[in-house]
């Protein structure tokens, strides 16, 4: 049985959209103010964007290195 590929998962925009949706639902359930909900969703979006960007850049850098240094 394979585990969760967290690197791929954390780089997924769909994952971050899901997380924002779940957080919104939980905050509404517990009666949080609209201002709090907006701030939490904005934070999740910002963090998700940064992480997705970092993984995308690492992937691109890795591919560029492979082209420059072919295996012996």
Q: pLDDT of the chain along its 72 residues, tens only?
A: 578 888 888 888 888 899 999 999 999 999 999 999 999 999 999 999 899 888 888 888 888 887 776 666
CA distance 16 to 23: 10
Taking the alpha carbons at both ends of the chain, their separation in whole angstroms is 34
Predicted local confidence at residue 46, as pLDDT: 93
Computed from CA positions of residues 41, 44, 50, 52, in that sequence, does the dihedral angle turn out positive or negative? negative
Instruction: For residue 21, give both structure tokens.
Output: 């949706």
36 contacts 27 by C-beta, under 8 angstroms: yes
Predicted local confidence at residue 69, as pLDDT: 65
């Amino acid at each position: 049985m394979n585990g969760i590929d967290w690197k791929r998962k954390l780089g997924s925009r769909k994952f971050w959209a899901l997380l924002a949706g779940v957080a919104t639902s939980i905050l509404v359930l517990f009666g949080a103010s609209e201002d709090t909900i907006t701030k939490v969703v904005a934070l999740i979006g910002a963090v998700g964007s940064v992480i997705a960007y970092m993984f995308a850049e690492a992937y691109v850098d890795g591919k560029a290195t492979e082209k420059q240094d072919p295996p012996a």
